[in-house]
Amino acid sequence: MINILIKIIKSKLKKNFSFLRYKKKLSSKIIRNVKIDEGTRIGPYVLIDGEAGSILIGKNCSINSFSWLGGGNSILSIGNDVRIGTGTVISCANHIFKDKNLLIRQQGLEKNSDITIEDDVWIGANSTILPGVKIQKGSVIGAGSVVTKDIESYVVAVGNPAKKIKER
């Protein structure tokens, strides 16, 4: 009888612990200077840090797992209804490296490297959006793209560097 009771308690504990581990593993982190509007969904393992700048995310966006959003010294602003694919990096941080006599880490980050992503943009998985870029309303960025320059509205752009391949 006691053995059966011990078995039941052990199995309950095991279930609870695996549940806790699962919850912990799936956590995302939202750190400093971040504002997120209602209806926006953040996937597991996403990291969002406004750093010394700030990050503003609009309504009804989705930011999928393993993405990293960083404000650097600037402002990252994301409009409404934006889709961000898994593994995407959007960082306003550019290291200053002009002075060869100083370590790069001693030179700080560039200012005025704002990134703007307007409403209804879809960014495919594993893309990188570089500092200073604006992606205009309704555009689509293909998976694995590196966006180095502004993208006009309602176009599809792909590749590294991302180039417009067509209008939507």
Ligand X SMILES: CC(C)(COP(=O)(O)OP(=O)(O)OC[C@H]1O[C@@H](n2cnc3c(N)ncnc32)[C@H](O)[C@@H]1OP(=O)(O)O)[C@@H](O)C(=O)NCCC(=O)NCCS
Chain residues in the site for ligand X (CB under 6 A):
83, 85-86, 124-125, 140, 142-144, 156, 158-159, 165
For residue 122, the minimal CB distance to ligand X (Å) is: 7
Report the residue number, 73 or 145, with the smaller CB distance to ligand X.
Answer: 145
Amino acid at 145: S
Please give the residue whose beta carbon sits closest to ligand X in the complex.
142
Q: Distance between CA atoms of 32 and 35, rounded to whole angstroms?
A: 9
For residue 154, the minimal CB distance to ligand X (Å) is: 13
Report the residue number, 75 or 147, with the smaller CB distance to ligand X.
Answer: 147
Query: Which are the catalytic amino acids?
Result: 95
State both tokens at 145.
């793209």
Q: C-alpha angle with apex 115: 50 to 70, nearest 5 degrees?
A: 25
Is residue 87 within 8 A of residue 66, CB to CB? The reply is yes
Report the residue number, 6 or 165, with the smaller CB distance to ligand X.
Answer: 165
For residue 56, the minimal CB distance to ligand X (Å) is: 22
Q: Distance between CA atoms of 32 and 55, rounded to whole angstroms?
A: 9
Residue where the block lists tokens 């996937």: 43
For residue 147, the minimal CB distance to ligand X (Å) is: 12
Is residue 107 within 8 A of residue 128, CB to CB? The reply is no
Report the residue number, 58 or 85, with the smaller CB distance to ligand X.
Answer: 85
